[in-house]
Chains A and B, each alone.
Chain A
Amino acid sequence: MAAVSLTVNGKPVTTDVDPRTLLVQLLREELRLTGTHVGCDTSQCGACVVHVNGKAVKSCTVLALQLEGAQVLTIEGLAPTDGPLHPMQEAFRENHGLQCGYCTPGMIMTAVDIVRRKGHELDDRTIREELEGNICRCTGYHNIVKAIAAGARAMQAGAASQAAE
């Protein structure tokens, strides 16, 4: 066992882990943050995407021990528990961008990262190409693409209104 200290959804965490423990196992098994899902064993599906130091990362492909001092954000930390939803979460709901919901946390975390990298005006082609690492079996992606475009615009509006306050 080895010790690791990191910050998860704004809370400091120090824990002893088996060196082979993956980040997703630490999140799901030890921290009980079960919103991050495991959908494959080859880093293909993206159900496990979280943010590490502000960037989208497949948490099934990172050892927990690699994250000493890192800031990790999961779907549970995207919006305050009793506060309003993140605009991207709201966009997925509004645009029926989910069905069974299993890929959804990874999709939303990826979507927020796409906006960070590509901006708020996203065309269909860009969104579809950027979703290369996330698989959904339910929606045919049609409404996920709509949701991400709408969520990206809503994030800009949200940022603008915050700046005005």
Chain B
Amino acid sequence: MCATGIGAAVRRKEDHRFITGKGHYTDDINQPGQAYAYFVRSPHAHATIKSIEAKEAARMPGVLGVLTGAELAADKIGNLICGWMIHSKDGSPMKMAPHPALASGKACFVGDPVAVVIAATLAQARDAAEKVKVDYAVLPAVTDPAQAQKSGVPQIHEVAPNNTIYQWHLGDAKAVESAFTSAKHVTKLDLVNNRLVPNAMEPRVAIGDYDTGSGTFTLWNTSQNPHVARLVIAAFVGMAPEHKLRVIAPDVGGGFGSKIFIYPEEVVALWAAKRVGRPVKWTAERSESFLCDAHGRDHVTHAEMAFDAEGRIVALRAKTVANLGAYMSTFSSAVPTYLYATLLSGQYEIPQIYCEVDAVYTNTGPVDAYRGAGRPEATFVVERLVEVGAREMGQDPAELRRKNFVKEFPHQTPVIMNYDTGDYNASLKRALEIADYKGFGRRKRESARNGKLRGVGFSTYIEACGIAPSAAVGSLGAGVGLWESAEVRVNPTGSVEVLTGCHAHGQGHETTFAQLVSDRLGIPIDNVSIIHGDTDKVQFGMGTYGSRSGAVGMSALVKALDKVEAKAKKVAAHMLEAAEGDIEFKDGKFSVAGTDKSAAWGEVALNAYIAHKFSGQELEPGLKEGAFYDPTNFTFPAGCHICEVEIDPETGNTEIAAWTAVDDFGVVVNPMIVEGQVHGGVAQGVGQALYEGAVYDKDGQLVTGSLLDYCMPRADHLPALNVATTVTKCPSNPLGIKGCGEAGAIAAPAAVINAITDAIGTEAIAMPATPQAVWAALKKAGRSLPHAA
């Protein structure tokens, strides 16, 4: 390992600009002559738009235009789409309702954009928006997914009777039924996976520009996948041919999934720019982020786990209603199906699994992938069932898990996934040691002496990352392939530019991708630049989500580097007057085997371009290679998180006393960055378990619509975290990487709730387990004093 190679905790190359205030986020960009967009949004969750009166607004100072859904339709701007087809169990396709960028005829959630004002300044646009008069006929609304399919409930879209998008299932219902019939013990749980607001700290931004000279559009946006945005806006929305649309996503201030999707404001910024003949900028206010960024989770589930007499899991079944909100967001359909039910085997050998999922429309903002996307929901189901099952059967929760772990690989689960490798016992064992599980009883007694309740909770999670083998996801309904691309440009002076189809929004690709190049080519890391996020610069790529950049994006880079090395060896062979097969490349030096003849990396790079030592017939000049890498399998990061809580029964306040995370991410490129990813993921998972919850009232108003009302975890909510790794190398990609970005958010909620329920002695607690909720649960269970057990 070189000092800046794979496995080194290299300090991040991108940090200098961020710590000096020189980052380039989308809102930092302004175009000459730029105008500003301000959206008029529906204040009602469900309402017919009878008329929009914009004459007064249009006469306000600085106003360049007031645009509505009628103009959008007249200009034949197409609808936003969901790109993953799910079929119901009866074979019918999902019911995708039209989603225009500006509401047409009807508004379906609070925040649904119904008009946009374009003005010379933002203040003028905002002032004029207040003068747009929309006459609404308010309709009754439905916000609770558990109610959405009932008779007499308001119908949101004509195409979807009973507000039902699909009724999907996976697994063998009969075999599961039979396994339950003969089971010794059955654990049953009703679970709500609470709705979350992603809240990346950078609000979304879109700047649209139209060049009449070339007929070309440019969109600067806060995107995790600019090429996908370009494809959708070109091919489905029909804004412009793909080659006439450039999408640039510069520094992006956090995404967590919420910036994968193609949003109405991006479409409107482009369209409005052409309409008014000036660049148009829109920057979300945080209140708009709350209303309109795609939310996460929002499942209502009944789940059961069947055990035999020895405590072996014989079957699992789950019935879930998933709320997808008012419109189907870009990948929303896949989250509660193929990213959820396929992980219901957890780390366990479960012979039979059956899962039914109904996806429903409600009068709430759209719901789509948020850090973990389906896998946190699956983990919560499995890990709550196992923990509660252990308690009900009087078994140690760690021991029950160990007994049921998958131990031989590859392992085919009954729900599609084929686990390639892992050592679940190793991560459990290590976590038990770090957490001093043996000493828990002593700590519990100590807490009891102080009038506190102490509990411990486990989460031995698994996830499917490295998204994803294209043919596999295609067979499951994906509208795209999920390979990744890379191009390596070697300059004549030997420095290197890497163009990756991935996109960094906090993950540190400029460092980790450069580590791979530095390691492979033996050149200083400072001689490597990583370029991403501009469709005019970078070849088509699929972007960053699903913990895929290392496992898929860096694998593409390995392939491109293979080609670079092969070409460079040809150049070196000509320079050194040797046979190509005799050229060896090591530590940045080409040498002829068995001789002292050698050429440095920089010399070979220069010779590739000056082309003095070979003819064009023998070898093409230049040193630039590209590759597309399509994974052969998902990757399966897994691990064990142990949470220890201390609860004050007087107030119901939960304090996280200790957190242990032992994760198997395969080969780790940069341990410092990987630990940081775990910290952040755990914080979001703890946020879900203890603090966060998007709440709509029965009229569809988001009552947690600001950072004053929605509790984002702050520094004093969280403990220091003990983070460690075990390693089983992923066999399906060249670097052995599994991915680390989502693990914390996937593992954490179950660990926290398992710890709280252990402490309070009742399973009846929902997330977020606020002090009020814990206090009420204690009261209801008739427990208020700690047991010095």
Chain A residues within CB distance 8 Å of chain B: 18, 20, 28, 33-42, 44-45, 47, 74-76, 78-79, 85, 89, 92-94, 96, 98-105, 108, 124-125, 127-129, 131-132, 134-145
Contact = CB atoms under 8 A, between A and B. Distances in A.
A94 B16 CA distance: 11
Contacts of B594: none
B12 interface: yes
Nearest to A127: B715
B201 to A, nearest CB: 4
Contacts of B589: none
Contact of B201 (A131, A135, A144): A135
Contacts of A93: 11-12, 15-16, 19
Given A40-B286, A76-B21, A20 B505 contact: no
A94 B17 CA distance: 14
Contacts of B199: 137
Interface in B1-28: 11-12, 14-23, 25, 27-28
A131 B707 contact: no
Given A34-B28, A41-B706, A131-B716, A75 B201 contact: no
Contacts of B707: 40, 42, 44-45, 135
B465 to A, nearest CB: 18
A143 B253 CA distance: 18
Interface residues of B, number: 56
24 contacts: A34-B28, A37-B27, A38-B27, A39-B202, A41-B285, A42-B286, A44-B708, A45-B286, A76-B21, A78-B20, A89-B20, A93-B11, A93-B16, A99-B676, A100-B506, A101-B14, A108-B19, A128-B715, A132-B716, A135-B707, A137-B199, A137-B680, A138-B680, A141-B679
Contacts of A135: 201, 707, 712, 714
A85 B416 CA distance: 52
A85 B17 CA distance: 11
B21 A128 contact: no
A150 to B, nearest CB: 13
A81 B680 CA distance: 31
Nearest to B706: A42
B304 interface: no
B404 to A, nearest CB: 30
A79 B22 CA distance: 13
Nearest to B251: A101
B20 A35 contact: yes
A20 to B, nearest CB: 7
B718 interface: yes
B720 A124 contact: yes
B448 interface: no
B73 interface: no
B398 interface: no
Given A92-B15, A100-B254, A102-B254, A138 B721 contact: no
Nearest to B286: A40
Contact of B200 (A79, A96, A137, A142): A137
Interface in B248-273: 251-254, 256
Given A101-B14, A138-B254, A140-B680, A36 B21 contact: yes
Nearest to A94: B11
Given A39-B286, A99-B507, A102-B25, A141 B18 contact: no
Contacts of A129: 715-716
B656 to A, nearest CB: 11
A76 B19 CA distance: 9
B718 A99 contact: no
Given A35-B22, A39-B201, A92-B15, A131 B714 contact: yes
A102 B253 contact: yes
Given A93-B15, A137-B712, A142-B720, A101 B682 contact: no
Contacts of B16: 93
Contacts of B772: none
A113 to B, nearest CB: 15
A89 B12 CA distance: 13
A137 B370 CA distance: 13
A145 B18 CA distance: 18
A98 B253 CA distance: 11
Given A47-B201, A99-B508, 13 more contacts: A20-B123, A34-B21, A35-B21, A35-B22, A37-B27, A42-B708, A45-B707, A78-B20, A79-B20, A93-B11, A96-B676, A135-B712, A141-B679
Given A96-B673, A142-B720, A101 B20 contact: no
A131 B254 CA distance: 20
B672 interface: yes
Nearest to B683: A140
A39 B20 contact: no
Nearest to A90: B19
B287 interface: yes
Contacts of A105: 18-19, 21
Interface in B137-169: none
B684 interface: yes
Nearest to A74: B21
B706 A140 contact: no
A85 B11 CA distance: 15
B706 A40 contact: yes
B33 to A, nearest CB: 15
Contact of B18 (A79, A101, A132, A140): A101
A102 B286 CA distance: 14
Contacts of B680: 99, 137-140
Interface in B197-214: 199-203
A41 B19 contact: no
Contact of A142 (B18, B25, B287, B679): B679
Contacts of A78: 20
A68 B303 CA distance: 63
Contacts of A92: 15, 19
B19 A89 contact: yes
Contact of A145 (B28, B285, B681, B720): B720
Contacts of A99: 254, 506-508, 676, 680
A138 B203 CA distance: 14
Nearest to B256: A137
Q: Which 9 A-B pairs have the closest CB atoms?
A: A35-B21, A102-B253, A101-B18, A140-B683, A100-B506, A75-B21, A99-B506, A140-B679, A44-B707
Contacts of B716: 125, 128-129, 131-132
Given A42-B286, A96-B12, A102 B201 contact: yes
A89 to B, nearest CB: 4
B708 A137 contact: no
Contacts of A96: 11-12, 672-673, 675-676
Contacts of A42: 286, 706-708
A124 B27 CA distance: 34
Given A45-B201, A99-B508, A100-B253, A143 B676 contact: yes
Contacts of B283: 38
A47 B15 CA distance: 16
Given A44-B708, A45-B201, A142 B721 contact: yes
B715 A137 contact: no
Which of A38, A100, A132 counts the most B-chain CB atoms under 10 A from its CB?
A100
A108 B253 CA distance: 16
A108 B505 CA distance: 19
Interface in B97-129: 123
